[in-house]
A and B are shown apart, each in its own frame.
Chain A
Amino acid sequence: DVKVTQSSRYLVKRTGEKVFLECVQDMDHENMFWYRQDPGLGLRLIYFSYDVKMKEKGDIPEGYSVSREKKERFSLILESASTNQTSMYLCASTTAGGNTGELFFGEGSRLTVL
């Protein structure tokens, strides 16, 4: 069974702290994504990676960075957390090319910044 695992389901951090959100997939997928989910705004793409050490900015990259040192792992980094980054963060992966385009999501990491 395919699996995308986000290491932290719930985090509480203080303003200015550095935050790491980790995501691991076991499907050997080339593409990995970080989305932010807010009520009434749907899912918005923060960053996308199509290969190890390769990344592209999504629609809302400000205040975030990412790291992909290994194919199965994609990390989202908040260098200095702010209260407006309180949100649900979803990691997803998919295979490159193909026709399905199906995204496989993790269960999410709910971050609260105080």
Chain B
Amino acid sequence: GENVEQHPSTLSVQEGDSAVIKCTYSDSASNYFPWYKQELGKGPQLIIDIRSNVGEKKDQRIAVTLNKTAKHFSLHITETQPEDSAVYFCAASLEGSARQLTFGSGTQLTVLP
């Protein structure tokens, strides 16, 4: 089955700096890569996703890049703000197969004022 590794497990950045979280996956058949953000006391929420037919996707301050050859994908947050502090999870699956979604171990991002 799919195996997703996520690094780092914790990340602290100064407000305004950029943050990068990296994930690798094992199953070359995976073609859907979402990122979820979990704020304290809440459930995870989808913030951005990418499919294997594109290499990069942006949504305001967040972007995700995908390297299918190397089987890794990354989340980039620019101009970080205190409200970006949360746990971030990457995941991988075959598109449309939520049953097979495999999550990474999570990254606790702390944005320091």
Do B103 and A43 touch (CB < 8 A)? yes
A-B residue pair count with CB separations less than 8 angstroms? 63
Of the four ranges (under 10, 10 to 19, 20 to 34, 35 or more), the interface on chain B belongs to 20 to 34
The answer to whether the Cβ of A11 comes within 8 Å of any Cβ in the partner chain is: no
Do B89 and A31 touch (CB < 8 A)? no
**Complex CA distance for A114 and B49, rounded to whole angstroms:** 39
A42-B104, A43-B44, A106-B43 given; A101·B9 CB < 8 A: no
A72-114: which residues lie under 8 A (CB-CB) from chain B? 90, 92, 94, 97-103, 105-108
Listed A/B pairs (15) with beta-carbon separation below 8 Å:
A41-B105, A42-B103, A43-B103, A45-B99, A90-B44, A98-B96, A101-B32, A101-B34, A101-B98, A101-B101, A103-B36, A103-B98, A105-B44, A108-B42, A108-B43
Residues of chain B touching chain A, judged by Cβ–Cβ distance below 8 Å, are 1, 4, 6, 9, 32, 34, 36, 41-46, 49, 89, 93, 95-99, 101, 103-106
